[in-house]
Amino acid sequence: MSTTRKVALVTGGASGIGLATCRRLAADGFLLAVGDLDIDGAADAAGPDGFSGQLDVADEASVEDFVCAAAQRLGRIDVLVNNAGITGDQSATVLHNTPVAQWDKVIAVNVRGPFLLSRAVLPIMIDQGSGHVITIASVAGQVAFPGRSAYTTSKGAALQLARSIAVDYASVGIRSNAVCPGMAHTAMTSWRLDDPELRAQIEQRIPLGRVASADDVADLVSVLASDRLHYLTGAALVIDGGYTAL
């Protein structure tokens, strides 16, 4: 199916920032291709006109199959939102205490995932002569989060991947930018933020006095996806309530 509507492919779109992004982009008029391990959640996020399917971002075959099917169904891919990510479980703390299996899992989802998705989507964007890769990184890619070595390392790598894509593909009309949230309240962070004492400690360090909502981050993705900022590429856009300004 070919379409004159722009198409956005969102990974990890069944919950959290991914779901908020899907809702925002749908309201902006995008057709959605939504991949997630949660098949039913992906279908709900994609809506009746979109495309959805089970997607393991760390698995090459899963990525290739999903991107191929999405492009065939919707005709094009204008925006890729590399959103799927994990922090690791509570054993993924300081480096010498982090199990190797947890390290590998975090790197696989947060770094290998954006690599595989971008690698699969870029040829489509090259053929179109346009496209925008938006990677959800983190302020943890710029300042180290204490006790989260694997996550901090992975987000630094994801940020550099976004910059690398910007440098290598600008000449063929493709832009790449990273969105770097601070602490946001999602299912992934609820184990900390649902504890009033821990939440208060975190919010005391944020000048705006609160953690982000998923919608706060989705609003920034929406601005990037809108093509209003044609000259912006290779940027790391921080949305953290002033956390890193301290």
Q: How far is C-alpha 145 from the geometric centre of its chain's CA atoms? A: 18
Does residue 122 fall inside a structural domain? yes
Number of neighbouring beta carbons within 10 Å of residue 120? 21
pLDDT of residue 1: 59
Copy the structure tokens of residue 166: 């910007």
Range of the domain at 167: 7-245
pLDDT of residue 194: 84
d(CA 58, CA 67): 14
Does residue 1 fall inside a structural domain? no
Q: Look at the chain and report how many structural domains it folds into.
A: 1
Q: State the average pLDDT for the chain.
A: 96
Does residue 47 fall inside a structural domain? yes
176 and 234 Cβ atoms separated by less than 8 Å: yes
CA neighbor of 174 nearest in space, from 135, 129, 136:
129
Mean pLDDT for 38-67 is 98
* pTM exceeds 0.85 for this model: yes
Mean pLDDT for 54-66 is 98
Q: How far is CA 199 from CA 127, 146, 150, 151, 194, in A?
A: 47, 16, 22, 19, 7
d(CA 179, CA 195): 26
Mean pLDDT for 14-22 is 97
d(CA 162, CA 115): 9
- Residue positions annotated with a catalytic role: 151
Give residue-wise pLDDT tens across range 162-203: 999 999 999 999 999 999 999 998 887 877 788 899 899 999
Q: What is the chain's percent helix, strand, coil content, to nearest 5? A: 50, 15, 35
13 and 21 Cβ atoms separated by less than 8 Å: yes
Does residue 238 fall inside a structural domain? yes
Give residue-wise pLDDT tens across range 191-237: 778 889 989 999 999 999 999 999 999 999 999 999 899 999 999 99
For residues 189 and 141, the model is more confident at 141
d(CA 34, CA 19): 9
